[in-house]
Chain A
Amino acid sequence: MTKVTIKKYLTYDRISGLFLIILSIIGLLHIVFSGEWGRNIGLGAKFMPQIYFFIILITGILLLIRKGEGEKPQGILIFVNIRSVLLFTGVGILYFLFILKVGLVISTVIYALSLYSLLTINPLKNWKQIVISSTIVTMIVWVLFDIVIHIVLPIPLLF
């Protein structure tokens, strides 16, 4: 892990990112704890503000952790490229939902099968590529599962 001094790390962008994260947390807490939000016909009054604050949170995180021009990657970053971080996070969330939907046993079997098929059909050398590709294949299987069998999702996607 590279040693990072606070002065070097706190650029304008990152301060903006931090501010946006704080704003989004305050906003989301306000929505959760500020009391009655009226009748919930359809999606309700708090639906869109929650989405907006969530997007602000993501943009704040992006500004906080992305690499600036000419900078070396900072120590708190696990991956060099922010796209990898997002991909892993996004795929991880999807895989969690998949497990909830079809159960751990079936998901493990499908995951193992996709991993095996990818290794044999298209040998990938980079372990990150292997994990991402097999997880995406598993997700595709999930989508087919959903369309063919029409199973209702176990948890609501919208809160």
Chain B
Amino acid sequence: MKEIVVISGKGGTGKTSIVSAFASFAENKVLCDADVDAADLHLIMNPTIRERHDFQSGYTAIIHRDKCTECGLCRDLCRWHAISEDFVVDPIECEGCGVCYYFCPEKAIDFPLNTCGEWYISDTRFGPMAHARLGIAEENSGKLVSLIRQQGKVLAEQNNLNLLLTDGPPGIGCPVIASLGGAAAVLIVSEPTVSGRHDMERVAELAAFFRIPSMVCVNKFDLNPEQGEAIEAFARDKNVRVMGRVPFDPVFTRAMVQGQTIAEFDSGSEGCQAVRKIWENLAEDIGI
């Protein structure tokens, strides 16, 4: 079983649209939406949820005012300034470190486990899918990313499927780092803008840091061919394999509005042809 993780650095470059198109082209695969912060793949995959589980992770302190003597030790020790002058914990600021809970001389602080999201095992018209929803303003997105990828692998093994196709998060921080480990390769979807290029360079550096082979494709290439070529030149210089170019094509938005992959919506479109070519290059490259 091999896993391809699609990332971008910059948000909104077309990761989910391209993963959806790949879902149309690839055989024997499991889909995984690892952008748990703002998951969108389900809007195209329209999954039928088979299993629903709570995601529990991290703790939050709660002070019981009836036991509290207002000695102030917790406020002195808390580095997050999460405890107010009248000894109420702000759950948004609380880091879940448990220092206040550990040291409270009156044992007036509880430290319950948080339920901070849900994860799902689903069926889609393209095969099984693992996905999740992190609660709004919650932490531990990296742990949920790891969990959902693990579930994707289990699904692949159970169903004897040889590919895990993972829609990754934007950025280079905790959820992205959690989406990289053990992947056969990452595909970086970039765009030919100064920001797309800047962000692609940083995320390519991240993949190299964790020694994950990376590939790149440039979406909306014709918006600025000069920037697009600069991205490809950077890639070649850093041993990032260049997989192809996708033209700017409004058909991507139209397919999304219909809840369809671009291959379902208009398989003859320029955009679809380009993504198909990228898929073929990628499949050949990783040997699936």
Do the two shown chains form a genuine complex with each other? no
